[in-house]
Amino acid sequence: MSWLQERRQFVKALLSNPAAVGAVAPSGAALAAAITETIQPQGGKVLELGCGTGVFTREMLRKGIAPSSLVLVEQDSEMSSSLRTQFPEAAVLQVSAQDLSRDSHPELHGIGAAICGLPLRNMSHVHHRKLLTAVFEAMHPDGAMHFFTYGVRCPISARVLEDCGLHARRVRFVPLNLPPASVYSLSRAR
């Protein structure tokens, strides 16, 4: 996908549903590198939520993740169609991330890590709880979910984290993204 095509696709999605996109521009290369930093090719399948134009997906492929190890979740129909074209070996699910379950989506078996590009600041505590439950039920016990936020603190409340048995840790600040972003890692509390 060319730079111009990616921008057009992003702007179209932004104009049709700003709350679901939650950004003013596609994530940049610095953020893609930071959020995928700990993803390892031998770590099992990778679940990516809110893939958008595929910026994080392309970075994972660049780092050696096999396309067949990717489970891409994108609710927007045009973006999910584009993902299928760009990454034909990956499993692309056009569903709401909160509605994921291994029962209805067998692709979720064997998830070792998750990347989340969803606008978590735009979601309610109820949506956070459903999302985290779905992701961590699909993931290996030692798996982690990596996400970013433009805010100054974790967008998931301490109460939701505690209810889900999770711990959040800020791992990186990315000033070279537009706007600057912080990357967090969520893992099961020990």
SS3 call for 31: helix
As assigned by CATH, the class of the 28-36+48-188 domain is alpha beta
Please name the residue that has the structure tokens 């692709």. Answer: 107
d(CA 48, CA 50): 7
Tens of pLDDT, residue by residue over 107-165, are: 999 999 999 999 899 899 999 999 999 999 999 999 999 999 998 899 999 999 999 99
Q: How far apart are CA 151 and CA 66, in angstroms?
A: 32
pLDDT tens column, 63-115: 999 999 999 999 989 889 999 999 999 999 999 998 898 889 999 999 999 99
Residue whose C-alpha is closest to residue 156's, from 190, 114, 137, 184: 184
Per-residue confidence band for 22, with pLDDT thresholds at 50, 70 and 90: low
Specify the pTM.
0.88
Helix pair angle (3-16, 77-86), 10° resolution: 160
Domain ranges of the chain: 28-36+48-188
- Read off φ and ψ for residue 34, nearest 5 degrees: -70, -45
Q: What pLDDT, on a 0 to 100 scale, did the predictor assign at position 95?
A: 94
List residues bridging with 121 in a β-sheet.
none
- Contact yes or no for 47/74 (Cβ under 8 A): no
pLDDT at residue number 1: 65
